[in-house]
């Protein structure tokens, strides 16, 4: 398809003053005829300009899209090759429900060049989505017409949990494990022997290995690390409270991201990791396993899941853990709560874990509530909203106090920070050998 440019319309409009001038010099019929011929010539030249683009069309391809991460800016790359100098506009047929950094890419290319152009797309929900064809406009050499066409680029792309965050976390955990970023190792924390090193001033003399000291004629101490091959089991709630939208994502998506981040941390530290997802029933059960390959299995099994408008059965989920997981484990329940009364079942279920397991309750707070509670108000409506927010936070604190009194570990963090804070707390538990 060919469309006229602004320059072409200006040239066509010049026919009107031309007709007026000619009408003074010549008769009206002649002036109108000359004006019509002028405009027809302009249109013909514009048509030839548009057709001429066919000889010098740019070549455009979209680089294959891999798995996208929900809640992140994902880069989409378009490669353009031009044999001649060209001015182009590109529109990609992306899923319209997702925001993008730019809807149209405009560029001017030199002859014999290949360039990559990018835009970012921010998926707000998981699932499979369709990318359509690329719509291209190229300006003719004389600047009078655009030549429009499409490039076949239909592709289905899956939107996964936060894989970008998982990659960053994996790099961080690897560097810490190899010592490139870790702090100086603290001696004596843990139960598993790691190595011998020379005694230094300030070291605990109780850690001296007297046999090794006698053999080498210098004082040596034992370095202990947290025990490996422990069990981490994660219970992810997908009930009613997890359907709420927080910071552009469902609360369940934030919980799923935190689940996979914690699982990645556990697998990197040699632990066996299992996951269960529940609402009124336990809908997904993945037994504990070791090894980084298990993380891929978790991603594939958990990605299709969505929250449901059902009340979660905490006691039923915990009961299944107790019956299926007989050895001691760190049991992490990722959910949300409102107050002591509404979350009485959660409190009872967490307490049921305390005799044999190390229970850990993780709740996903809405940062908007924090902002409202801590903002200074100057009108009645805002003051009322602030009072409600402060009351919600206060009731949460009462519920957490009850959990702590009964030996349950607690983490209440904003949804957008939950993954980082949960992984940090898990690593602290490992260093302190609480499991």
List of E strands, 307-434: 330-335, 358-365, 409-414
Chain position carrying tokens 């990609």: 92
Ranking 8-22, 174-188, 195-209, 420-434 by mean pLDDT, the lowest is: 174-188
pLDDT at residue number 282:
96
Q: Of residues 181 and 236, which shows the higher confidence score?
A: 236
pLDDT of residue 227: 56
Cβ atoms of 138 and 53 closer than 8 Å: yes
Give the span between the Cα atoms of 65 and 77, in whole angstroms: 9
Buried b (16+ CB within 10 A) or exposed e, 375-395: eeeeeeeeeeebeebeebbeb
> For residue 97, is it left (φ>0), alpha (ψ between -120 and 50) or beta?
alpha
How confident is the model over 220-243, as a mean pLDDT?
83
User: Is 380:363 a contact under the CB 8 Å cutoff?
Assistant: no
CB 23 within 8 A of CB 31: yes
pTM, entire model:
0.82
Q: pLDDT tens, 126-171?
A: 999 999 999 999 999 999 999 999 999 999 999 999 999 999 999 9
Can you give the pLDDT at residue 194? 60
pLDDT at residue 189 is higher than 80? no
- Do 89 and 60 meet the contact criterion of CB atoms below 8 Å apart? no
Assigned CATH class of 57-160 = mainly beta
CATH superfamily of 231-431: von Willebrand factor, type A domain (3.40.50.410)
The predicted-structure confidence for 337-396, as pLDDT tens digits, reads as follows 887 777 889 989 998 998 889 999 999 999 999 899 988 888 899 999 999 889 888 988
């Amino acid at each position: 398809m060919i469309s006229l440019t602004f320059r072409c319309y200006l040239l066509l409009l010049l026919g009107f003053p031309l007709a007026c001038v000619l009408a003074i010099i010549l008769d009206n019929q002649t002036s109108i005829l000359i004006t019509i011929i002028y405009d027809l010539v302009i249109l013909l030249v514009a048509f030839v300009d548009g057709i001429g683009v066919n000889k010098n069309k740019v070549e455009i391809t979209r680089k294959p899209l891999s798995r996208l991460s929900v809640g992140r800016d994902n880069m989409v790359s378009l490669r353009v090759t031009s044999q001649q100098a060209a001015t182009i506009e590109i529109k990609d047929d992306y899923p319209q429900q997702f925001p993008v950094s730019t809807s149209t890419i405009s560029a001017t290319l030199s002859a014999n060049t290949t360039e990559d152009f990018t835009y970012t797309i921010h998926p707000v929900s998981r699932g499979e989505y369709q990318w359509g064809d690329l719509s291209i406009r190229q300006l003719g050499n004389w600047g009078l017409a655009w030549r429009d066409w499409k490039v076949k680029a239909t592709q289905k792309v899956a939107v996964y949990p936060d894989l970008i965050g998982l990659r960053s976390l994996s790099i961080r955990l690897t560097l810490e494990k190899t010592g490139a970023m870790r702090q100086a190792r603290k001696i004596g924390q843990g139960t598993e022997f790691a190595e011998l090193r020379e005694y230094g001033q300030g070291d605990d003399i109780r850690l001296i290995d007297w046999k090794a000291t006698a053999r080498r004629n210098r004082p040596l101490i034992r370095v202990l690390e947290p025990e490996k091959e422990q069990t981490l089991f994660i219970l992810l709630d997908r009930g009613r409270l997890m359907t709420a939208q927080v910071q552009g994502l469902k609360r369940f998506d934030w919980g799923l991201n935190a689940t996979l981040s914690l699982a990645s941390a556990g697998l990197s530290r040699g632990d066996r990791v299992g996951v269960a997802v529940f609402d009124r029933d336990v809908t997904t059960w993945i037994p504990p396993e070791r090894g980084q390959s298990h993380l891929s299995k978790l991603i594939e099994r958990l990605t299709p899941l969505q929250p449901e408008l059902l009340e979660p059965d905490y006691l039923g989920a915990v009961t299944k853990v107790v019956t299926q997981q007989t050895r001691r484990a760190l049991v992490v329940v990722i959910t949300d709560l409102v107050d002591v009364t509404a979350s009485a079942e959660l409190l009872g279920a967490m307490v049921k874990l305390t005799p044999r397991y190390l229970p850990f309750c993780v709740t996903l707070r809405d940062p908007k509530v924090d902002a409202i509670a801590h903002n200074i108000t100057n009108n009645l409506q805002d003051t009322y909203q602030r009072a409600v927010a402060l009351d919600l936070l206060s009731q949460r604190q009462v519920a957490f106090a009850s959990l702590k009194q009964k030996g349950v570990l607690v983490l209440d963090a904003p949804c957008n920070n939950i993954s980082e804070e949960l992984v940090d707390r898990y690593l602290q538990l490992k260093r302190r050998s609480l499991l």
